[in-house]
Amino acid sequence: MSALSERPANPVVGESIPHESASLHVTGLALYTDDLVGRTKDCLHAYPVQVFQAHATVTRLDPTPALDVPGVVRVLTAEDVPGVNDAGIKHDEPLFPSEVCYFGHPVAWVLADTLEAARLGAAAVVVEADPLPAMINVKEAIAAKSFQGAQPHMERGDVDAGFEEAAHVFSGEFEFAGQEHFYLETNAALAHVDENGQVFVQSSTQHPSETQEIIAHVLGVHSHDVTVQCLRMGGGFGGKEMQPHGYAAIAALGATLTGRPVRLRLNRTQDMTMTGKRHGFHAEWRVGFDRDGRLVALDATLTADGGWSLDLSEPVVSRALCHVDNAYWIPNVRVNGRIAKTNKTSQTAFRGFGGPQGMIVIEDILGRCAPLLRVDPMTLRRRNFYVKGQSTPYGQPVRHPERAVAAWDQVVATGDLNRRLEEVARYNAEHEDTKRAIGVTPVKFGISFNLTAFNQAGALVHVYKDGSVLINHGGTEMGQGLHTKMLQVAATTFGIPLSKVRLAPTRTDKVPNTSATAASSGADLNGGAVKNACEQIKERLLQVAATSLGISPADVRIEDGEAHGVAYTSARISWDELVKTAYFRRVQLFAAGYYRTEGLHWDSQLFQGEPFKYFAYGVAATEVEVDGFTGAYRTRRVDIVHDVGDSLSPLVDIGQIEGGYVQGAGWLTLEDLRWDESDRPSRGRLATQAASTYKLPSFSEMPEVFNVALLQQAHEDGAVYGSKAVGEPPLMLAFSVREALRQAAAAFGPVGISVDLPSPATPEAVYWAVEQARRATEHGHVQEGFPGVVPEQPGADAHPAHPTSEHYEKPVPARA
């Protein structure tokens, strides 16, 4: 067992404690970025000047009329930028663009004494723009060969030979939608400049260091001239990893030019229409199975809808390729990735970061093909699991594949699946107009940033003379409980009660050059750094205690706030007394900690290496009931077993698993992003720009029975206190609800029918899947032999995802 993962006696990690700000959240006392405006004197308010065309060239921009509006102080334009007019790390996102690239693209910002004055001022700015052709959906971009960024290629084995040897070959196409983050707190920034010209920005950002960097290059100053603080976020989910930089830069520019604090906060409509979403994807695939239903070959092309700029699309596509196998061994693989450039918001990170988009392709393939292979979907999935000694298509050995098996077996046993499957069969036989089904799917998700350099973190720990401890680390808190875990790590490392430790907000002048709180790596990276800093101080304190106790430092233990020798009869020194003694002996009581993830290597050109520290595993079983008249459905029961290693904070982890599943179910079944694809002037407008039109999961969609268990005996050596990441992997457990809906819809047709199911599988989409199954019955389709192309259901134009597949038995070639 490594020193990093080994736990001492009576650790604070592993205790089920509430979120460190839970009481503040529920009482409304928790402060967020925009709450600080009321504490700031003479604050200006920023409002965007938007152009409501999907693609256009700005031919005239006249801010003069806005200055006549009472309360308007200044209009910010490209001419005001002293540094670089760009808010992106790829330098493809002009802060003040001359070319409008999506509907509602802001081209200037108005600063005023009140928000209403700023709004009226923005309306008064004269903007003229000549329209340009606009591509709104990914298929248009593919047809026009409108791509941007890198086009990665992943290959292993001999794919063509694999298809030659396959007993069954299918091919198909699948388009699935993105997802709105809908964090409770919209993007916000508050900037001011002190008497020395130091810029201080409060920002709701997951990546303070990068926000700092973008502000600096917009202002034309050095990073040490800019400090960014993230107090906390009201949700992020990846949507605040890149998108806040430009808004923080606008606020900082306004504060620099006016000498007054500037507040920028998007309202809900602005946030939904101006910020990026989860990437929607289009997939073309061809898959081969042997006669036992084992995967032998996969050839696929995944095209992400990147929107108008690159943002994080390249690493999103890379991670999608890395997760196209999910938990399944595929000996021969060839997958190509590419990024479509469309005239929509610049799509960005979202919980899972491409992993869900890769996994859904293979899960959809297995769900579509299981009936055609005459194999139960559960059996097909379990039969194709990785086993010890196998590696991923990009060359990383799959460690602990037995954990996926253990989680699967536990779900089957504790979920009483064998009995319930029999009950479902009886129910379906007795009910003509409603059907039930149970879907079971696994998750294997790689943890670490694909870019190796990002896998590092820092921390700053202070021990004060009274024995109290203050920690500061590079991770940000967005409700996920990272700060809670860091408090537990510090208390455990020192051997003191949790009440002794306090955590300060994340600031770039305390911990520099931090990575984004993303990739589910927040606790791994920052926990390692906090532990390292605490260990440095503790080592010094052990020397002090050894001198006082008259024993060797190796024989000193600090537990429950007391230092003592290993002998039972040893004298004891309280923590407070030990710290005070150390101070008077001039012993350093602060330290900067550092951690980097070891053992990672990645060649993005060859698409080979070991980019992940480990894999997190999980299994979910979801039971649904579908109404054949409307397509409406309810989730009757969910059983989850998830691998979090040795949990740092079980209550937090279980909450993350529950929340991840529900958010994933929203993406896969409810949240239907729609853009206007007509030729009207409104082309490119996001139609689902409020909670009234964009359906989010609510209490009514929650499972009636929701069982979550943490996989036991899952210690992860080489990770902080044996834990594993929990932020992203649980989202993909929701594939089970989509597969359950597919099976329930198919139950309305003949035995073994394979139905198309769009994503999101809204009630409307499920209804058409039910109708497809019923038509098969009406047309007398019996599953003797294998069908050809599955007919597309009515209303196909209304849905973004309608996979079709075809099957042949050798030597008949697959049709295009």
Q: Is the pLDDT of residue 798 over 80?
A: no
Average pLDDT over residues 762-769: 97
Query: In the chain, pLDDT over 90 holds for what percent of residues?
Result: 94
Nearest alpha carbon to residue 435 among 33, 748, 82, 714: 748
**Would you report the helix, strand and coil content of the chain in percent, each value rounded to 5?**
35, 25, 45
Residue 494 DSSP code: H
Mean pLDDT of the chain: 94
Q: Which residue has the higher pLDDT, 43 or 568?
A: 43
Helix (H, G, I), strand (E, B) or coil at 660: helix
Q: Is the pLDDT of residue 42 over 80?
A: yes
pLDDT tens string 404-449: 999 999 999 999 999 999 999 999 999 999 999 999 999 999 999 9
Check: CB of residue 64 under 8 Å from CB of residue 137. Answer: no
User: Pick the catalytic residue: 728, 739, 771, 806?
Assistant: 728
- Rounded distance, CA 700 to CA 161, Å? 50
pLDDT tens string 571-611: 999 999 999 999 999 999 999 999 999 999 999 999 999 99
Nearest alpha carbon to residue 135 among 311, 280, 275, 344: 344
Confidence class for position 816, pLDDT limits 50, 70, 90: very low
pLDDT at 239: 98
Confidence class for position 809, pLDDT limits 50, 70, 90: very low
752 — alpha (psi -120 to 50), left (phi > 0) or beta?
left
DSSP string, 533-560: HHHHHHHHHHHHHHHHHTS-GGGEEEET
pLDDT at 360: 98
pLDDT tens string 474-529: 999 999 999 999 999 999 999 999 999 999 999 999 999 999 999 999 999 999 99
Residue 186 DSSP code: P
Across 452-468, b (16+ Cβ under 10 Å) vs e yields bebbbbbbbbbbeeebb
Average pLDDT over residues 393-398: 98
Q: Is the pLDDT of residue 89 over 80?
A: yes
* CA distance to 463, 494, 546, per residue, from 583 (Å): 10, 17, 15
Average pLDDT over residues 650-668: 98
Check: CB of residue 740 under 8 Å from CB of residue 636. Answer: no
> What is the 3-state secondary structure of 337-404?
EEEECCCCCCCCCCCCCCHHHHHHHHHHHHHHHHHHHCCCHHHHHHHCECCCCCECCCCCECCCCHHH
Q: Is the pLDDT of residue 784 over 80?
A: no
pLDDT at 67: 98
pLDDT tens string 336-394: 999 999 999 999 999 999 999 999 999 999 999 999 999 999 999 999 999 999 999 99
∠ at Cα 586 (580, 590), nearest 5°? 75
Q: Which residues contact 80 (CB under 8 A, 6 or more apart)?
A: 253, 257
What's the full length of the chain, in residues?
A: 816
Q: Which helix (DSSP H) or strand (DSSP E) does residue 254 occupy?
A: helix 244-258
Confidence class for position 561, pLDDT limits 50, 70, 90: very high
Nearest alpha carbon to residue 742 among 759, 726, 730, 727: 759
∠ at Cα 23 (18, 27), nearest 5°? 150
Largest CA distance in the chain: 90
Q: What dihedral do alpha carbons 777, 778, 781, 783 form, nearest 10°?
A: 10
- Rounded distance, CA 236 to CA 459, Å? 22
CB hemisphere CA count around 116 (13 angstroms): 1
213 catalytic per annotation: no
- Rounded distance, CA 538 to CA 510, Å? 21
- Rounded distance, CA 198 to CA 177, Å? 43
pLDDT at 163: 98
Average pLDDT over residues 209-220: 98
- Rounded distance, CA 479 to CA 405, Å? 31
